[in-house]
Amino acid sequence: MNTTYISDFKTLARSISVVENEAEGFETLLQQLQPGNMPVIGFTGPPGAGKSTLLNAVVGILLEQGKKVGLILVDPSSPFNFGALLGDRLRMTTHFNNPNLFIRSLATRGSLGGLSDKIIEVLEVMKSYPFDYIFVETVGVGQSEVEIAGLADTTVVVLVPESGDSIQAMKAGLMEIADLFVINKADRADADALVNSLQHQLQMNGKADTPVIKTVAVEVKGVNEMIEEIERLKKHPASDNRRLLLLTEKALRLIAAKRMKDIDKEALRNQLKTALQQANFNLYGFVRGFF
């Protein structure tokens, strides 16, 4: 089978569209891709943490260094056409025309985990272009964003000082997935208190070696230190066990999507409407009929 390498942004954009829209030949394209080994870096965290501003600052520094950067920005979906509501042009206007930057907005299309249902396939296409960095920014839906840990080689969790009261609640979610914590808007009160609380919680969870960086994204303070930490993590790739877990999660998502493809939601609704008229209706028994 022929393998496919992608050498220019125009071909990259077309290939992503083919895959995202499941156009004719999309499966053949995916099977022929030859992804590179560049790590995927995920940006996640609660709404209002300043993820977009921080990522914008990071990208600016990397572009000044001549790096090639790919961005996937996952946005909320329009309830009418399932397109992205917050476009990439609004968030990255400073760098949008830079020839070393490729940006793609993806809509969540109803996904509850902060990611698009086509994210795995789009990432595989992106990795077939020789980027130096690939970043994925999630939509910001809170603790359910743990899905990013199944896709990114390095997960950056962005918090703000106001997050302090929720540290305890986070320990079963975002607390567990972070390779790097960033306290953004660190010029606000209680930033140091959050750092201390977070480090204490990490120590209790057996993750005392997880770095915690303070930044002020709008002033580009601490951003270079953050990039240095990301670079350090890049040079220490995930263990074989973590890599196997990542691939397993990706495989499960692809299998689930493939098996669900033939489910007609409208037909399912009509079948449920009929089944509900039966006095002994049981949802589990109803669903079992599909296996």
Residue 165 has a pLDDT of 55
Which residue in this structure is represented by tokens 């990490």? 202
Of the candidates 130, 127, 62, 137, the residue with the CA atom closest to the CA atom of residue 105: 137
The whole-angstrom separation of Cα 268 and Cα 262 is 11
Q: Strand, helix or coil at 23?
A: coil
Contact 102, 69 (CB under 8 A): yes
The whole-angstrom separation of Cα 208 and Cα 181 is 12
Distance of CA 180 to the CA centre of its chain: 15
pLDDT tens for the 291 residues of the chain, in order: 455 678 899 999 999 999 988 899 988 998 888 877 788 899 888 778 888 899 999 999 999 999 999 999 886 544 333 444 444 444 556 777 899 999 988 865 544 444 556 788 888 899 999 999 999 988 665 444 556 766 788 889 899 987 655 555 555 566 777 889 999 999 998 899 889 988 988 888 888 889 999 999 999 999 999 999 999 988 776 556 666 776 777 778 778 777 777 788 888 889 999 999 988 888 888 888 776
The whole-angstrom separation of Cα 51 and Cα 64 is 20
Residue 9 has a pLDDT of 94
The whole-angstrom separation of Cα 10 and Cα 29 is 16
Which residues does 230 contact at the CB level (< 8 Å), separation at least 6?
Answer: 41, 58, 154, 156, 180
Residue 96 has a pLDDT of 75
Residue 112 has a pLDDT of 40
Residue 145 has a pLDDT of 53
Residue 13 has a pLDDT of 94
Domain ranges of the chain: 9-260
Residue 35 has a pLDDT of 77
Of the candidates 205, 209, 213, the residue with the CA atom closest to the CA atom of residue 172: 205
Contact 136, 125 (CB under 8 A): no
> The domain 9-260: what is its CATH number?
3.40.50.300
Residue 80 has a pLDDT of 36
